[in-house]
A and B are shown apart, each in its own frame.
Chain A
Amino acid sequence: MSYSFWIILTGALVASSCALLGCFLVLRKMSMIGDAISHAVLPGIVIAFLISGSRSSLPMLIGAALVGVFTTFLIEFISKKAKMQNDAAIGLVFTFLFAVGIIMLTLFADKMDLDADCVLHGEILFIPLDILTTGTFVDIVPRKIWILFIVFIIVIIALRIGYKGFLITTFDPSYAVSVGISAVLWHYVLMTLVSLVTVVSFESVGAILVVAFLVVPAASAYLLTDNLVRMLLIAVGVGVLSSILGYFLAKWLDSSIPGSMTATLGILFLISFLLAPKYGLLPRKLLRKKA
């Protein structure tokens, strides 16, 4: 398999997991919580890295996912108990945790091969080079791709099993409570999944650009359909398309791959913002003129 193929596949896997979860974030008006989690998992990643000495071990995933959930908990705590307005609570918590993460990175720079650049850009270029050495067919696929693939499967299984729970708690929380479905439980399940995906993706696309993959495909899909299943599928499609086009854009301009993938996402969003049949800007303007 070629080098480019693995990079595009990495992007596509990140984009797919993110897009699926992002749909629920966008529908629940929680996009900025996704942003907060993706920044805030950094100290979790660094600590887990220091303990386990590697980037993609199980403790690392669990540790960082816990930090993600802790972040949402802390935001809620500050906004409810200390009565800080919600937007400020989000801003305060994630900037603080991210700052802690960056300082830890600088302090332990010599103890690990992880740096601020990796946090911002990701290191997608190195992913195809990291191959497992078991001597079986497993070695054909880069290590990180296995991990991203497993997480993708976990996301799909979780959404398949919890589809009803997510659906009802997203669209009608009060009805959910009345039929005995816990909105809090599904909230935290979603937050855990978002943290997990953010943690495995940060190395490929950087901690901040993960948010682009979470929100932009979902928002584009939201403009194109009213049906949740279709929205999920379209979002995945947009995500995958952007990782393919973004890769070639990056190659053409000789620029950062995740940056280019994000820029492509922006263009795809712009297209659906302008041209979406029912909710796009131009069709609505034309309709108004006719009427």
Chain B
Amino acid sequence: MRELLEFLSLSNANVRYVVLGVMLLGASTAVVGTFTFLRKKSLVGDAVAHSVLPGICLAFIFSQVRHPLVLLSGAFISGWLSILSIDFITKQSRIKADAAIAIVLTVFFGVGIMLLSYIQSTGNAAQSGIDHFLFGQAAALVGNDVIMLAIVCAVLVVVVWLLFKEFSILSFDADYAQSLGLPVRSIEFVLSTLTVIAIAVGIQAVGVVLMAAMLITPAAAARYWTNRLSVMLLLAAMFGALSGFFGSYISYSAPKMPTGPWVIIAVTFIAFISMTFAPERGFFFKWLSKKRKVNTTMDENILKIFFHLGEKEGDALTSRKIAQLQARRYFEESKMQASLKRLCRDGKVEEDEHGWKLTKVGVIESKRIAKLHRLWEMYMSKFLKIPADHVHEGAESLEHFFTPELEEMLEQELDFPETDPHDKPIPYTKTSVS
């Protein structure tokens, strides 16, 4: 606990640098990565991330220093080369994109591993930091590195901000961008360059192997919450920063732990939560609204049973036992119980000593459903020429999906018929006639 407080207070200058640095890295790669995600280039991002390794190693072999700017340039060059290679292979041969990505990824990475083993065998003391690029080790960053990385990140975010409109048109509809006369190729070039820079910078925190996740997972998570690009960018940046914070905290409290995997665990966790609980798109809410639909369908069916029984006996407000309702149309007792309770709560049904009865509101509602059923039967037989003995099934399912607007249109289209195809009267309520 004390450790956490000490960490949170950021009193230690080194901790402060590392935490802020990693958060900034997380946020800015997430911003750039949002476009990677939207352009469906997630796996290209993965390939680029693996492909920066030989660049870093070569930069180190030639310069013999572990200065971030030098390594960054090496990473940048080999990252760009990998993008070009993938493009070249897919355009100039029958190899498909998936295989081209896999080939470039593994061959570049293999060469990287080769060079890495070469560096390790030379035993250069300064090389100790090089293999941190595999899984990231934020704690190894020192003040100057962080300041430099922060500047690069700030540049990334500013460029995205300036070219926001161009990037978004390109991401959503490249053909449209072309027709607007935008310089699509140049914009693509700038965007790819930003992506490579973001990756080259980001690997300091999470490492080459897991960098792809830092790029796209925040965006994938943000996508569940919004349809607006600006909000999505903001959310992605937030998720990126949050997981960066979490990762650097773990790395701080357990120095043996590489930062990268923990950042990825955090960001994937956020994605899982978004996937499940985001309103509208989330899993849980979809399931909930489906369940709600099943329930209202059931409730409407119960109301209809009341209506039918009332219609036969000429009294809509009689109390009835569940067995009586089941005799008219069978549903499991437990389901009927649950449904009656819901209707009771909504004030459409009341319970008394003889069983359950409709309230006034319930009567109106039950008439509406029966009316919809019969109107729809009428529509099917009149306009779709479906024989009267076949219309019931379709009406049975469709009656539950009518909005008031559709209801009105249906009434007007049919011009308020008196009876349905089975010669049963159509029960209009006062509200809908007026």
A residues at B contact (CB < 8 Å): 26, 29-32, 34-35, 39, 78, 81-85, 87-88, 90-92, 95-96, 98-100, 102-103, 106, 109, 116, 120-121, 206, 208-209, 211-212, 214-216, 218-219, 222-223, 250, 253-256, 258-263, 265-266, 269, 273, 279-281
Q: How far is the CA of A85 from the CA of B258 in the complex (A)?
A: 29
Partner of A87 from the list B41, B113, B257, B261 (CB cut-off 8 Å) is B41
Asked whether A102 lies within 8 Å of B106 as measured between CB atoms, the reply is no
Interface residues of B in 109-130 (CB under 8 A from A): 109-118, 121
Asked whether A208 lies within 8 Å of B109 as measured between CB atoms, the reply is yes
Asked whether B213 lies within 8 Å of A96 as measured between CB atoms, the reply is yes
Q: How far is the CA of A263 from the CA of B117 in the complex (A)?
A: 13
Partner of A259 from the list B102, B103, B113 (CB cut-off 8 Å) is B113
Asked whether B111 lies within 8 Å of A262 as measured between CB atoms, the reply is yes
* Chain A proximity mask over B117-156: 1 for CB below 8 Å, otherwise 0: 1100100000000000011000000000000000000000
Q: A31-B98, A91-B217, A99-B268 are in contact. Are A262 and B110 (CB under 8 A)?
A: yes
Q: How far is the CA of A88 from the CA of B215 in the complex (A)?
A: 10
Asked whether A100 lies within 8 Å of B265 as measured between CB atoms, the reply is yes
Task: Point out which of B100, B106, B110, B114 has the most chain A C-beta atoms below 10 A from its C-beta.
Answer: B110
B residues at A contact (CB < 8 Å): 37, 40-43, 45-46, 50, 89, 92-96, 98-103, 105-107, 109-118, 121, 134-135, 209-210, 212-213, 216-217, 219-220, 223, 256-258, 260-262, 264-265, 268, 271, 275, 281, 283
Asked whether A92 lies within 8 Å of B271 as measured between CB atoms, the reply is yes
Given contacts A102-B135, A223-B95, 6 further A-B contacts (CB under 8 A): A84-B223, A85-B42, A99-B268, A106-B261, A256-B117, A259-B110
Asked whether B114 lies within 8 Å of A254 as measured between CB atoms, the reply is no
What chain B residues lie within 8 Å of A84 (beta carbons)?
220, 223, 275
Minimum C-beta distance from B210 to chain A (A):
5
Partner of A92 from the list B114, B216, B257 (CB cut-off 8 Å) is B216
What chain B residues lie within 8 Å of A222 (beta carbons)?
94-95, 99
Asked whether A255 lies within 8 Å of B92 as measured between CB atoms, the reply is no
Asked whether B42 lies within 8 Å of A91 as measured between CB atoms, the reply is yes
Minimum C-beta distance from B5 to chain A (A):
24
Partner of A262 from the list B92, B95, B107 (CB cut-off 8 Å) is B107
Q: How far is the CA of A102 from the CA of B137 in the complex (A)?
A: 13
Asked whether A91 lies within 8 Å of B46 as measured between CB atoms, the reply is yes
Partner of B113 from the list A83, A106, A262 (CB cut-off 8 Å) is A262
